[in-house]
Amino acid sequence: MSSTTPDAPDDGARRPQDRHLPVLLQRCVDLLAPALREPGSVLVDCTLGMGGHSEAVLEQVPTARVIGIDRDPQALELASRRLARFGDRFTPVHAVYDEIRDVVADEGLDAVQGVLMDLGVSSLQLDEAERGFAYAQDAPLDMRMDQSRGITAADVLNTYDERELTRILREYGEERFAQRIARAIVRRREKQPWARTAELADLVRDAIPAATRRTGGNPSKRTFQALRIEVNGELEVLERAVPAAIETLAVDGRIVVESYHSLEDRIVKRAIARGTTSSAPPGLPVEPETHRPYLEALTRGAEEADADELERNPRAASVRLRAARRVRPTPSHLLPKEER
């Protein structure tokens, strides 16, 4: 997640660094750097985007190299141009980040020293109107992070039944008026298939009570978020990705995750808590070695952006950052059966 730079012209010639202000950039680098001091240390940037976090690590930690994963081919192309000056210290990979263990193995590595996840939709995707992520700009209802595969937001709106649409809006968008919106979506598609973002934004506004529209920002925000999460399978991917990322870490390796809504943060919090909590049954006089925590939390709960960060970068308003260090291998009894 990131922000566009204020007052920069919005044209195709803009450099990634002119379009992209990474959230909590220096804090992420400071948390990761102690694990990357040995020559040849590897950071996996699981959500490369336009490469802002990776660039800062490569600049400030000369011993590190970065493997950058992104499912969006356009992001990979832009980031690769931006980071070309680092030569073989940067390796781009087209993949979804729950494939992190396969990506690392394909690079000939058993483990890595750092993992970064900056979740959610990127500036590139928000600012390219034709991608359909932004409710403020009319565009095709696409919302795929990788436009070469998968269903679109239009497919969801035109084929899911009212009950399933209600569930998605309620669970993924935390939308109070999910059933009203879903019913209106189904009623409208009986006359004309869904195709454009402006049509959806108008319908959501009309479906929500007038009194509710006066506060809380654009009323379409939650519906667009829910559709984006469904189209890209974001929560299912994250459920797999965080434990997989932890298992790629060498001892003393570090993981840093930036989340932007409560559903993401809950998944991250649960995975880190699993590693920082003893798995011994309560009441034992001595904690067995095999039940001791295998992670150490590096943040007290979730860190938020301070006033200075918010002034520079309004999209940091919802960020929640969590970080942990691996202190020992994961006990075998906590691993999936196929990995024991």
- Kindly state the tokens that stand for 188: 């409208």
Q: Which residue has the tokens 């359909």?
A: 132
Measured between alpha carbons, how far is 259 from 265 in angstroms, rounded to an integer? 5
Q: Is 97 annotated as a binding residue?
A: yes
- Kindly state the tokens that stand for 325: 């260090």
For residue 11, how many other CB atoms are within 10 A of its CB?
A: 7
Instruction: Classify burial at 311, counting beta carbons within 10 Å of its beta carbon; exposed 0-12, middle 13-18, buried 19 or more.
Output: exposed
Which of 91, 71, 72, 89 has its CA nearest to residue 80? 91
> Residues near 117 by Cβ (< 8 Å), separated by ≥ 6?
46, 47, 97, 241, 242, 245, 255, 256, 257, 258, 268
Q: Is 51 annotated as a binding residue?
A: yes
Q: Is 52 annotated as a binding residue?
A: yes
> Residues near 13 by Cβ (< 8 Å), separated by ≥ 6?
none
Residue list, annotated binding site for S-adenosyl-L-methionine: 51-53, 70, 97, 118, 125
Residue list, annotated binding site: 51-53, 70, 97, 118, 125
